[in-house]
C-alpha cells in the first residue's frame, strides 16, 4: 500500500509542506494515543476553564491543543498558529513559510462517552509581510488553503486529506506507525438519502431550512418522493467522514437564538477545512447564501452556518432559500 509521503509527492506537494504535514500528523498520533488511554490516563472530564468560544474546555481539548502547539512551534515550518482553543494567534518561527489553523479536538461532547472525535486542520501560505503574532494574516478566504484534512480517532485512526489534487483517505497502520493510502480520490455521490442535522434546534432555524427538513421527513409521502435516513454523530469530523464515505448532507444552519453568532461551527477551524475536502471530492459547501470557501473572514474565531455534502442535495436545500 502506498505511504502518505509518496501520495503527497505524486500530488506535487513541496517538500517543506510534506515535512510540515508529517510533523502535524506526528502530533495527531500522540493525541490518538492519549485519547485511547481515556480514563486510564485521567484525561477525561471537563476543566473549570472556558475557551474564547465561551465553551467549557474538556481536559482532552487542552491536552490536544498543547501537543499540536508544541510540535508545530519547534518544527520551524510554521510562522503562526490559530486554534479554536487559543484566544489569540500563537507566533511560531519568523522564517516559517506556513500558517496552520486547527480544531485540536472536534466533538468534545463525545470525549467522555468514548464516541467519535478528531482533529481538523488547514494550512495556508504565511505572507512575507506578517509579524508572527499578527491575526490579520489568517483572514484569508478558504480558496487560499494549500492543504487541509482531519484525523478521525475511531475504531481505526483515519486521515482524510487534500493538497488540492483530490481527497484521499489513509488508515494509520499501528504496527508500523505510518498512514497508508486506503481510498485514493474519494468522490461524494451527487445524490443521497441521508441527512445529518441536530433537529432539536428546529424552532430556531430560518424558515427555508425548517421547510427543507420538513420535506425530508415527509419522505415518499411528500414533495421529495423518496424516504430519507437521519444520522447525527455529535462530532462534525464523524459526520463528514460518513458523507465523504457514502454521501449525505450535513448542516449546522443559521440559528436565530443569537443573530450575532450566525452558526455554531467556526470558519477557520471547521467549515473551511471540511469544505475544501468536500469540494475536492466533488461535493458542495455553502453557508446558505454563499460558497463557504469564498467567505472573507473578519476575525479568526468567526462562526458561519454550514450546509455541505452531496452536490445535488445541497443544491436542492439551497433552492428552498431562493423560493
Ligand atoms: O452538540 P451539538 O449542538 O449537536 O453540536 C455538535 C457539533 O458541535 C461540535 O462538537 C463543535 O466542535 P467542538 O467539539 O470542537 O467544539 C461539532 O463537532 C459538532 O458537529
Ligand atoms: Mg469542532
Ligand atoms: Mg474542538
pLDDT digits (tens, 9 = 90+) for 48-78: 788 888 888 889 999 999 999 999 999 999 9
pLDDT of residue 23 exceeding 90, the answer is yes
Q: Give 177's pLDDT tier (boundaries 50, 70, 90).
A: confident
Alpha carbons 279 and 138: distance in angstroms, whole number: 21
Cell 481515556 belongs to which residue?
38
Residues in the chain: 323
pLDDT range class, residue 45, cuts 50, 70, 90: confident
Q: Which residues are annotated as a binding site?
A: 84, 103, 105-109, 198, 264, 270
ipTM above 0.95, yes or no: yes
The whole-number pLDDT of residue 133 equals: 83
Predicted confidence band of residue 122 (pLDDT cuts 50, 70, 90): very high
- Closest residue CA from atom 13 of ligand 1: 106
Separation between Cα atoms, residue 52 and residue 71, nearest integer Å: 22
Give the span between the Cα atoms of 53 and 48, in whole angstroms: 14
Instruction: Give mean pLDDT, residues 79-96.
Output: 96
Q: Is 236 a residue whose pLDDT tops 80?
A: yes
pLDDT at 260: 84
| Confidence bin at 40 (pLDDT 50/70/90) | confident
Query: From ligand 3's centre to the CA of 104, what distance in Å?
Result: 6
- Nearest CA owner, ligand 1 atom 1: 234
Count of CB atoms situated within 10 Å of the CB of 120: 30
Amino acid at each position: 500500500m502506498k505511504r502518505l509521503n509518496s501520495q503527497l509527492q505524486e500530488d506535487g506537494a513541496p517538500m517543506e509542506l510534506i515535512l510540515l504535514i508529517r510533523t502535524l500528523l506526528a502530533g495527531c498520533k500522540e493525541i490518538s494515543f492519549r485519547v485511547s488511554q481515556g480514563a486510564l490516563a485521567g484525561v477525561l472530564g471537563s476543566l473549570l476553564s472556558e475557551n474564547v468560544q465561551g465553551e467549557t474546555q474538556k481536559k482532552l481539548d487542552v491536552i490536544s491543543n498543547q501537543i499540536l502547539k508544541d510540535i508545530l512551534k519547534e518544527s520551524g515550518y510554521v510562522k503562526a498558529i490559530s486554534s479554536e482553543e487559543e484566544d489569540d494567534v500563537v507566533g511560531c518561527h519568523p522564517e516559517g513559510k506556513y500558517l496552520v489553523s486547527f480544531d485540536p479536538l472536534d466533538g468534545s461532547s463525545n470525549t467522555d462517552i468514548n464516541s467519535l472525535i478528531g482533529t481538523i486542520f488547514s494550512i495556508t501560505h504565511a505572507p512575507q509581510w506578517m509579524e508572527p503574532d499578527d491575526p490579520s494574516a489568517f483572514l484569508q478566504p478558504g480558496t487560499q488553503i494549500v492543504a487541509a484534512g482531519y484525523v478521525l480517532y475511531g475504531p481505526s485512526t483515519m486521515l482524510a486529506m487534500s493538497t488540492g489534487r483530490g481527497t484521499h483517505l489513509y488508515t494509520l497502520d499501528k504496527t508500523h506507525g505510518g498512514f497508508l493510502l486506503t481510498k485514493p480520490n474519494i468522490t461524494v455521490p451527487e445524490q443521497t438519502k441521508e441527512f445529518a442535522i441536530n433537529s432539536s434546534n428546529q424552532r430556531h432555524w430560518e424558515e427555508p431550512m425548517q421547510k427543507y427538513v420538513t420535506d425530508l421527513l415527509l419522505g415518499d409521502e411528500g414533495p421529495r418522493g423518496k424516504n430519507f435516513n437521519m444520522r447525527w454523530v455529535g462530532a462534525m469530523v464523524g459526520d463528514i467522514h460518513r458523507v465523504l464515505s457514502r454521501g449525505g448532507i450535513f448542516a449546522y444552519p443559521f440559528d436565530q437564538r443569537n443573530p450575532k453568532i450566525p452558526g455554531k461551527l467556526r470558519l477557520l477551524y471547521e467549515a473551511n477545512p471540511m469544505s475544501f475536502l468536500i469540494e475536492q471530492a466533488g461535493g458542495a459547501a455553502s453557508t446558505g447564501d454563499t460558497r463557504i470557501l469564498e467567505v472573507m473572514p473578519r476575525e479568526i474565531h468567526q462562526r458561519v452556518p454550514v450546509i455541505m455534502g452531496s452536490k445535488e442535495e445541497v443544491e436542492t436545500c439551497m433552492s428552498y432559500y431562493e423560493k
